[in-house]
Amino acid sequence: MILNTELEYKGNLFPTKIVFYKKDVDTLYFKSENGVALQVIVQRDSVLRFRFATTAIFEKDFSYGITKYASKGYNRLDIDEDDDNYIITTSKLICHISKLDMRTAIFDAKDNSLICEDELGFHWEEFYEEGGDIVKMSKTSQEGESYYGLGDKPVDVNLKGKRFENWVTDSYAYGRGSDPIYKTIPFYLGVHHKKAYGIFFDNTFRSFFDFSKEKRNVTSFWAEGGEMNYYFIYGPEMSEVVSNYTDLTGRPQHIPPLWALGFHQCKWSYYPESKVKEVTSKFRELKIPCDAIYLDIDYMEGFRCFTWNKEYFPDPKRMVKELADDGFKTVAIIDPGIKIDNDYSVYKEALEKDYFCKRADGAFMKGKVWPGECYFPDYTNPEVREWWSELFRELIEDIGVKGVWNDMNEPAVMDVPGKTFPKDVRHDYDGNPCSHRKAHNVYGMQMARATYHGLKKFSYPKRPFVITRAAYSGTQRYTSTWTGDNVATWDHLSLANNQAQRMCMSGFSFVGSDIGGFAEQPNGELFTRWIQLGVFHPFFRVHSSGDHGDQEPWTFGTTLTDIVRKFIEIRYQLLPYLYTAFWRYAGEGIPILKSLVLFDQEDPNTHYRNDEFIFGEKILACPILEPNAKGRRMYFPKGRWYNFWDNSIIVGGEEIWVDADIDSMPIFVKEGAIIPKYPIQQYVGEKEIEQLELDVYYKKGKESSEVYEDAQDGYDYKKGRYSLRNFTQVGKNKSFIIQQYKSGKFITNYETFKINIHGLPFKIKSIQVDNEEIEIKMSNGDVTLEITKGFRELHIISE
């Protein structure tokens, strides 16, 4: 215990004793003798917000991270006090605030167990050189505590023992441990004694997190300006913490068009038009499914955004249409740097309207990017965002481009120290003018937001698709993302796996990596293993810098091409399964990928696992991360798991060797699962879905699965035109029952299900569908049935 008499701790200042307290509905105000103000806002029973102001005056309450739709309200709020503490009680939490020094301790209201407690608590240091304070918070690390989250950090899943910085940074060919990289997601989860909580430090200045690195028993976070403003989010389940975090910072405003969950092919760059066509034709010729083709910067005229190089692409509208006729959606890159060029309309307009960022003393923020010297729109100005969104009219509405890729939006500047804007650059920050110190981490997010609004307008009545490289908490509301310029190495394959899991735990599930590696070239084996992992990433795109050779599915010889095709086909079969997981994520914030710890935090064996993860709700996948492997050891979490390839069963709770030669990968299905499958298509919409296949994995006992479908694009689903099927299977020794309950107004085209039942432990005497007997078909010991999609109950009876 450190007493508040220690006013000076390594140059830090601390609050002294509380001399004032007031309650205003859901907000409690405290003031210390030395003028520190603390606001505690009871957002929900399980979510408390803490704000500290060192001058007793709070800043205007504005956040790009928090959505206006964040839930508010609680079932219980009692305030008590004893000699030492003010005590806030909700139905989920008890929070003590020390009268002596404003330190807090939070307990689970159910069993009074300690969840999170301040060590030094809030303290600060004046930041004379830059202005304001360096605001700091330290918490005691609990026994056995592990830490997760924090966005795209390229390290192991568990963050314990490490320190990180958050400052959105262009990081070409980053490596294991590089920090910071492209994203700032100042949100982490702590897990100890089987319970999980989260902290979202909603401060956009450069920030730092230390997870028991400097001191074994301390976890701390601090920022180089702004307020100590954080949300404490209780679970106790990790998935509840993530769900509550995305309730605060938002979830995707709509589910992606189904095609966006298909396979995407990209390279820097495919040009001219004949090259693009050569690639897309090859996909169709070799029957490798693909939905999207990307145009990187070379499609532009001198890298000027919203222009076309007419020599390479003489008639973009025709080309985009022809690609669309062949099932390809065109995605084009748009960067923030606008070339300084008096003959360029975008530049001229922004200049006239005064939309470019300026230095402190009024000069324009000038920096070099692909087009040479550029100016940069201030996307933190709502008027600029509106203007920017309008620029997409031609590209989307007229030319027919279906998706936009925002890159270099950290913002990246070439050949300068820090690789970005200097700190003095001014920003509007939605009417809260500030320097780049505060706006840097949200610049890319605001660009992606403006792009998203443009696409939403001009894609209507279809859904937009946007991808961004830079992000701050909340960017998941608008776009998908990828992990930036990785490298074609085995270690990067493993990093891609960790980063995708971490992003999902950090509330941002629409994520993938540059498959095969952006820099350098993979060999065929690495490429194939990466495709295998990519099948299980929400965003599934091959991308490479192109200067190290080709990286198309057919680059590495026919044997590997066949394997790659087989895996991409699996992705297409699993589309309704992934779409259902996406729908759950967009609705409830449940991560699409679940690290094993998130799947079962009570099992300490999961706390340090990196490789295995759950895809959606029911599939356990584990990539092969080494060359020449014939398989690997992997940990199986609790439960019984069917091997996807041969239906053999593994009982969880231990590490087991799994065979997986290059044509295979460890994939397992949770017993009791019902996995929906579409037929293989070369692109989404190629075929009318004439039948939905349901793979049923017998479980003794009860288990439910969901299948969500809609028109695969458009917004009708928001008006109830969706189809949600809830299947419950009940397995007994002598019978097996599947019940279906359907809701929603969407009527699927197909009339029947093909049901494959795996692992039935008995010989069948009869099968009844809604009390009527039907014929029995068996193949390899599995039962296959075709029954009407409207069935209510399927009853299988043993001999």
- Asked if 623 and 611 touch (Cβ cutoff 8 Å), the reply is yes
Within residues 297-316, the interface with ligand GLC by CB under 6 A covers 297
Choice between 387 and 527, CB closer to ligand GLC: 527
Question: Is position 407 annotated as part of the catalytic site?
Answer: yes
Q: Which helix (H) or strand (E) holds 147?
A: strand 146-149
Residue among 145, 407, 617, 713 flagged as catalytic: 407
Q: What is the dihedral of CA 467, 472, 476, 482, to 10 degrees?
A: 40
Q: How far apart are CA 372 and CA 636, in angstroms?
A: 52
Question: Site map for ligand GLC, 506-545, x if CB under 6 A?
Answer: -------------------------------------x--
Choice between 118 and 296, CB closer to ligand GLC: 296
Closest separation in Å from C-beta 106 to ligand GLC: 40
Closest separation in Å from C-beta 476 to ligand GLC: 19
Choice between 182 and 736, CB closer to ligand GLC: 182
**Total Cβ atoms within 10 A of residue 679:** 16
Cis peptide before 377 (omega within 30 of 0): no
With CB under 6 A as the contact rule, the residue among 223, 333, 401, 625 that binds ligand GLC is 333
Comparing CA positions, the residue from 785, 376, 616 lying closest to residue 776 is 785
Question: Is position 410 annotated as part of the catalytic site?
Answer: yes
Choice between 296 and 693, CB closer to ligand GLC: 296
With CB under 6 A as the contact rule, the residue among 247, 407, 600, 617 that binds ligand GLC is 407
**Residues present in the chain in total:** 799
Which residues are paired to 703 by β-bridges?
729
The DSSP 8-state label assigned to residue 771 in this structure reads T
Closest separation in Å from C-beta 297 to ligand GLC: 4
Closest separation in Å from C-beta 449 to ligand GLC: 19
Choice between 36 and 292, CB closer to ligand GLC: 292
Question: Site map for ligand GLC, 229-268, x if CB under 6 A?
Answer: ---------------------------------------x
- Asked if 385 and 427 touch (Cβ cutoff 8 Å), the reply is no
Cis peptide before 627 (omega within 30 of 0): no
Q: How far apart are CA 215 and CA 134, in angstroms?
A: 20
With CB under 6 A as the contact rule, the residue among 262, 484, 553, 616 that binds ligand GLC is 484
Comparing CA positions, the residue from 262, 713, 720 lying closest to residue 460 is 713
Closest separation in Å from C-beta 485 to ligand GLC: 5
Question: Site map for ligand GLC, 541-580, x if CB under 6 A?
Answer: --x-------------------------------------
Closest separation in Å from C-beta 37 to ligand GLC: 43
Choice between 543 and 758, CB closer to ligand GLC: 543
Choice between 289 and 484, CB closer to ligand GLC: 484
Size of site (CB under 6 A) for ligand GLC? 9
Closest separation in Å from C-beta 543 to ligand GLC: 6
Residue among 410, 514, 617, 703 flagged as catalytic: 410
With CB under 6 A as the contact rule, the residue among 296, 525, 612, 713 that binds ligand GLC is 296
Comparing CA positions, the residue from 553, 564, 550, 556 lying closest to residue 268 is 550
With CB under 6 A as the contact rule, the residue among 179, 202, 224, 485 that binds ligand GLC is 485
Distances (CA, A) of 6 to 1, 10, 32, 100, 724: 11, 10, 15, 12, 60
410 sits near ligand GLC (criterion: CB under 6 A): no
Question: Is position 485 annotated as part of the catalytic site?
Answer: yes
Comparing CA positions, the residue from 347, 336, 420, 334 lying closest to residue 378 is 336
Choice between 469 and 699, CB closer to ligand GLC: 469
Q: How far apart are CA 290 and CA 299, in angstroms?
A: 21
- In three-state form (DSSP H/G/I as H, E/B as E, the rest C), the secondary structure along 18-32 is EEEEEEECCEEEEEE
- In three-state form (DSSP H/G/I as H, E/B as E, the rest C), the secondary structure along 291-316 is CEEEECHHHCECCECCCCCCCCCCCH
- Find the distance separating the first CA and the last CA of the chain, reported in whole Å: 70
Closest separation in Å from C-beta 380 to ligand GLC: 22
Please report, as ranges, the residues that interact with ligand GLC according to CB under 6 A.
Answer: 268, 296-297, 333, 407, 469, 484-485, 543
Q: Any idea which residues carry the catalytic annotation?
A: 407, 410, 485
